[in-house]
Chains A and B, each alone.
Chain A
Amino acid sequence: MEKFNLAKIFSVFLIIIFPNIVNTAEQTDPIKVNWSFKGLTGKFDRASLQRGFQVYKEVCSSCHSMQYLSYRNLGEPGGPEFSLEEVKAIAASVEIEDGPDSQGEMFTRPGRPSDKFKSPYPNVNASIAANGGAYPPDMSVLVKARPGGSNYIYSVLVGYEEPPAGMQLDDGVYYNKYMIGNKIKMSAPLLDGIVEYSDGTEASVDQMAKDVTTFLSWAAEPELEERHRTGIKVIIYLILLTVLVYLSMKKIWSRIDSEI
Chain B
Amino acid sequence: MSGHEEYKPKSKAGKWLNDRLPLLTLGAHLTDYPTPKNLNYWWTFGGILTFCLLTQIITGIVLAMHYVAHADLAFASVEHIMRDVNYGWLIRYIHSNGASMFFLAVYIHIFRSLFYGSYKSPREVIWIIGLMIYLLMMAAAFMGYVLPWGQMSFWGATVITNLFSAIPLVGDSITTWLWGAYSVDNPTLTRFFSLHYLIPFLILGLVVLHIWALHVPGNNNPVGIDIKKPSKDTVPFHPYITIKDAFALLLFMIVFAGFVFFTPNVLGHSDNYIPANPLVTPAHIVPEWYLLPFYAILRSVPDKLGGVILMFGAIFILFVLPWLDTSKVRSAVFRPIYRQFYWIFVIDVLMLGYVGAMPAEGIYLVLARVGTIYYFLHFIVVMPLVGLFEKTEPIPMSISEPVLGGGAELSLAKKDNGKI
Contact = CB atoms under 8 A, between A and B. Distances in A.
B174 interface: no
Interface residues of B, number: 52
A4 B243 contact: no
B347 A10 contact: yes
30 contacts: A3-B343, A6-B347, A7-B343, A14-B353, A18-B357, A21-B354, A21-B357, A68-B76, A69-B83, A141-B79, A145-B274, A146-B270, A220-B273, A227-B90, A228-B261, A231-B258, A231-B261, A234-B257, A235-B254, A238-B257, A242-B247, A242-B251, A242-B254, A246-B247, A249-B244, A249-B246, A252-B243, A253-B243, A257-B37, A257-B403
Contact of A245 (B247, B261, B350): B247
Contacts of B260: 231
A191 interface: no
B254 A68 contact: no
A104 interface: no
Interface residues of A, number: 53
B269 interface: yes
Given A227-B89, A245-B246, A253 B240 contact: yes
A201 B274 CA distance: 34
Interface string A1-33: 001101100110010001101111100000000
Given A147-B270, A249-B243, A256-B240, 10 more contacts: A7-B347, A10-B350, A14-B350, A21-B358, A68-B80, A68-B83, A138-B275, A144-B265, A222-B83, A248-B243
B273 A141 contact: yes
Interface of B: 37, 76, 79-80, 82-83, 89-90, 93, 235, 239-240, 243-244, 246-247, 250-251, 253-254, 257-258, 260-262, 264-266, 269-271, 273-275, 283-284, 286, 289, 339-340, 343-344, 346-347, 350, 353-354, 357-359, 403-404
A10 B289 CA distance: 16
B103 to A, nearest CB: 14
A141 B261 CA distance: 18
A57 B358 CA distance: 40
B254 A223 contact: no
Contact of A256 (B80, B235, B350): B235
A211 B340 CA distance: 55
A185 B285 CA distance: 24
A197 B244 CA distance: 59
A140 B254 CA distance: 30
B257 A231 contact: yes
Nearest to A251: B243
B274 A137 contact: yes
Interface of A is mostly: helix
Given A25-B283, A256-B37, A238 B82 contact: no
B239 A11 contact: no
A19 B258 CA distance: 16
Nearest to B339: A3
B400 to A, nearest CB: 9
Given A231-B261, A256-B235, A140 B79 contact: yes
Interface in A191-235: 220, 222-223, 227-228, 230-232, 234-235
B231 to A, nearest CB: 13
Contact of B261 (A21, A235, A259): A235
Contacts of A11: 350
A241 interface: yes
B357 A4 contact: no
A91 B400 CA distance: 74
Contact of A227 (B251, B253, B264, B286): B264
A84 interface: no
Contact of A249 (B247, B343, B344): B247
A253 B247 CA distance: 13
A260 interface: yes
Nearest to A231: B261
5 tightest Cβ-Cβ pairs between the two chains A and B:
A231-B261, A145-B273, A3-B343, A242-B250, A223-B89
A117 B174 CA distance: 44
B62 to A, nearest CB: 16
Given A14-B353, A22-B269, A22-B284, A238 B76 contact: no
B240 A252 contact: yes
B243 A230 contact: no
A68 B88 CA distance: 15
A245 B235 contact: no
A145 B270 contact: yes
A222 to B, nearest CB: 6
Given A228-B262, A238-B257, A3 B273 contact: no
Contacts of A253: 240, 243-244
A184 to B, nearest CB: 16
Given A23-B270, A68-B83, A231-B257, A3 B246 contact: no
Interface in A145-174: 145-147, 149
Nearest to A181: B283
Contacts of A23: 270, 284
A166 B358 CA distance: 31
A126 interface: no
Contacts of B251: 242
B247 A68 contact: no
A130 interface: no
A94 interface: no
B47 to A, nearest CB: 13
Nearest to B254: A238
A7 B346 contact: yes
A68 B79 CA distance: 7
A134 interface: no
Contacts of A47: none
Contacts of A145: 270-271, 273-274
A259 B403 contact: yes
B257 A235 contact: yes
B239 A252 contact: yes
A230 B261 contact: yes
A176 interface: no
A238 B253 contact: yes
